[in-house]
Structures are given as C-alpha cells and as structure tokens.
Amino acid sequence: MVRTRRHLLIVAAVLELPAGVALLAAPSLVAEGLLGAVLVAPEAFVLGRVAGAGVAALGVAAWIAWPDDRSRAATAVIAGLAVCNLGAAAVLALAALRLELGGPALWPVLAALGALGAWCLESLRG
C-alpha cells in the first residue's frame, strides 16, 4: 500500500482528535490507562486538559489540511504532528523506564506515537 501525505493527515486526524477530546473530558482516566496512576492534584487536571486541547487542535488541523496535502500549511501540520508524537513518545518512554510508571495502554500508545511520528518524518523527507 502506498502511504501518501493525504493518508497520513487523515489517519492523524482520526487518531489525534479523539485522543485530545479524551484528555479534555477525562484526563485522570487517560493517565490511569497510560501511566497506571490517577490524577489527584487540580493542577494535573488542568495540564491534562491543556494537553488535550493541543492534541485535539492538531487533529482538527490535520483534518482541514488533508484535501490540500502538498501545501506549505499541510507541511507545517505534518511537522507539528512529528514534534508532538515523537515528543509524547519520548516523555512516556522516560516515564516507563525511569519512573517505572505504566498502565495497560502505555506500550500500544507508545508504539502508535512512534509509528505516526516516523511516518511524519518520512513524509517530510519525501
């Protein structure tokens, strides 16, 4: 199967928007699934929701950009997706390896973040 920038943007939109909405709606539930720990501090809820808004915004941007996947704007969205996904993968990997945190969704999510980030980098090189 040929993986195009258009496919990348559609897949990113379909994954990022619901992930962002989940963080906005239930940051503690997401934290428990990823890290095996519930959020208790109000500040943690605020930061989780801020992160959710950013991830949802990337999903919306990817959805808007897919019809014109060769534009500079689409390239910028893909670059932002690469930074977000690879950065999130790095943070979660450090949480697992250094802090020994981990929930049932951690490794599948880490794999998805890494794969999507790598796809973004491949697309930017192409």
Give the domain range for residue 118: 5-125
- The pLDDT value recorded for residue 59 is 98
The structure tokens listed for 81 are: 């997706």
- The pLDDT value recorded for residue 3 is 75
- The pLDDT value recorded for residue 2 is 60
For residue 52, the number of C-alpha atoms closer than 13 Å in the C-beta half-sphere is: 20
Three-class HEC string of the chain: CCCCHHHHHHHHHHHHHHHHHHHHHCHHHHHHHHHCCCCCCHHHHHHHHHHHHHHHHHHHHHHHHHHHCCCHHHHHHHHHHHHHHHHHHHHHHHHHHCCCCCCCCHHHHHHHHHHHHHHHHHHHHC
pLDDT in tens, the chain (126 residues): 567 999 999 999 999 999 999 999 999 999 999 999 999 999 999 999 999 999 999 999 999 999 999 999 999 999 999 999 999 999 999 999 999 999 999 999 999 999 999 999 999 997
Per the structure, the count of domains in the chain is 1
